[in-house]
Amino acid sequence: MRPRMTVRIDAAQVQAHARRWVQEGLGFKDHGPICTAKCVVSILLIAAARMCSIFAACRDMAKAPSDQALRDALFATFPAIDQLQKRINQTLICELPRRVFRHKRIVAMDVTLIPYYGEPQRHPNELYHSKQKAGTTKFHGYATACILHHGMRYTVALTRIEKGEKVTAIVIRLVRQVRAAGIQIKLLLLDRGFFTVDVITYLKRARVPFLMPVAIRGVRAKDPARRKAGLRGFRTKPTGWYTYTFQGNNKQKVRICVCAKYYHHQKSGKRRLKRYLFGAWGYHATPVVAREQYRKRFGIETSYRQLHQSRIRTCSRSPALRLLFFGLGLILRNVWSWLHFMYFAARRGEHPTLRLELLRFRQMLNWIERALIYALHNGSLPSTQWQIE
């Protein structure tokens, strides 16, 4: 009988791993005797764990500097925004296990938009304009690339999106960043918003296999023959693989996968048939396998959900500060995935056996907050003081 081994990790160790990863990766430096690099990173981690602002985090810590002193320290040590983005990308992958880079990986790319209600700080291109959401059409946009292998769901690339930027430019930057990180793309999973001729042309030229839903655009043709020859005609075809050629100057060919699935209507309870259309290149599988393969793309949606659980809130107009807060949330999520692979996995290897119930993401953030409070607070209860005139 194999002897049992007890592995123990406490909040102080988790906090130390997270602070070291952030501090060494982003290259924070001391800014005076009070705003040291360790103090600045600690305040950022507390604000991320509480999903609050820097002001709120500094106010509740007795030994913390003022929020203005912390902002001065951040802006004094900030590089240019492009260099800051490069540092964040390096920090995302600096501690990843070597096993991640040994094999080709399935990668998903997506865009997330943070609603913004103010004016740009310096240039109008800082804000990305899209359809109305949460009462605004202006956003700070970011695109990420995430590995979707079981047990190794790490975000490996991040890029900002500026006003009027095409999806093709976003895909080009992310693919180059993923390859520069040393990760080989086995299959690229994209949202239907990326289904354009330019994106397909680039991915075929870059030799990147892809799978994404078909986006049917334009007005429905009145002529039945024309309607049947277009993408809408695939909705009536049986399950299987077909070839479609885009019309126009760039006659790109793409394989179309038609996959049918029965489901029960929620209200009527009747059994209905729904067809899924996927565009692919360099990928070969049965339609059922292709549909199940694409379902893995929703792992990047999970990464965004966890990101928002650790994103520092701010009303600052600085795009560099907002980029730092966004990147910090992704780094903390990578720390959580790394801890599960290195400490909590019952079996490592290419297909590790994870035990996510041992340390949930919110629980890890609570541990980090609790460990840092001992260093930055004097033990008194948080309070607010004001004067009445």
- Give the DSSP letter of residue 344: I
Q: What is the structure's pLDDT at 1?
A: 42
How many residues are there in the chain? 389
The predicted model gives 38-46 an average pLDDT of 94
> Looking at the chain, which runs of residues are DSSP E strands?
105-115, 128-133, 136-147, 155-161, 185-189, 210-213, 240-245, 253-264, 271-281
Residues facing 254 on adjacent strands: 244
Give the C-alpha separation, 130 to 23, whole Å: 34
Measured CA to CA, the distance from residue 253 to residue 241 in angstroms comes to 13
pLDDT tens digit sequence for 197-224: 999 999 999 999 999 999 888 666 666 6
Cα of 145 vs its chain's centroid, Å: 7
The reported pLDDT for the residue numbered 173 is 96
pLDDT 10s digits, 137-160: 999 999 999 999 887 899 999 999
Which amino acid, residue 79? P
Cβ proximity of 256 and 214 under 8 Å: yes
Is residue 332 within 8 A of residue 365, CB to CB? The reply is yes
pLDDT number for residue 264: 81
State if pTM tops 0.85.
yes
**Distance between CA atoms of 115 and 111, rounded to whole angstroms?**
13
Question: How far apart are the C-alpha atoms of 7 and 381, rounded to whole Å?
Answer: 34
Smallest CA-to-CA distance from 63 within 374, 389, 309 is with: 374
Q: Domains, the chain, ranges and CATH?
A: 11-83+317-376 (no CATH), 84-302 (3.90.350)
